[in-house]
Amino acid sequence: MERVDEVIEMRSDAAKQRADLLQLMLEAASREHIKDKNDDVDEQYIAKKLTYDEVVANVFLFMVAGYETTSTALAYCTYVLANYPEEQHKLQEEIDEYFSQNENETDPDYDVVNRMPYMDMAIKEVLRMHPIALSPVINRECTQETEVCGIKITKGK
């Protein structure tokens, strides 16, 4: 929990804002009013504010809830990269290029990884191939008869 406090304090003071869940929670904690659309009331403003403890609790909840899905996604990434050594090589080159340009840095952070386009593409492709969180909830189904590369796919399959 101490690390969560450090990150929240650092992000609260930072001039640079990120487009992520923590930033949204910090904005909700500091925002005076949030527009509440209600069918019975015309655009009424209701004061809502997250407390510091609520932000910490939500960050902790997302960290705990995300542990299993993150570890599974990383396992799939490892599996896919092991099966596609040429892609693994491209990704390794991108990582090596970053570290050759930034010799003083040892641990890449969120901003560093965000500047690695091939890493981003590789992770997104693995998650497309092996969806983690939504796989039991969302099933893909063919909505019309079609043919792909000579293979007939019937509606509903």
Question: What range does the domain containing 32 cover?
Answer: 2-153
Residue recorded with tokens 């990120």: 18
Each residue's pLDDT tens digit, 106-157: 777 777 888 899 999 999 999 988 887 665 555 667 888 988 889 898 887 7
Q: How far is the C-alpha of 118 from the C-alpha of 34, rounded, in Å? A: 38
Determine the Cα angle at 123 with ends 93 and 22, to 5°.
115
Number of domains in the chain: 1
Does pTM top 0.75 for this prediction?
A: no
Each residue's pLDDT tens digit, 84-101: 999 999 999 999 988 888
Q: How far is the C-alpha of 36 from the C-alpha of 91, rounded, in Å? A: 45
Q: How high does pLDDT run on average in the chain?
A: 77
Q: What are phi and psi of 35, to 5 degrees?
A: -65, 125
Structural contact between residues 147 and 153, judged by C-beta atoms closer than 8 angstroms? yes
Each residue's pLDDT tens digit, 62-75: 777 778 888 889 99
Q: What is the pLDDT of residue 137?
A: 55
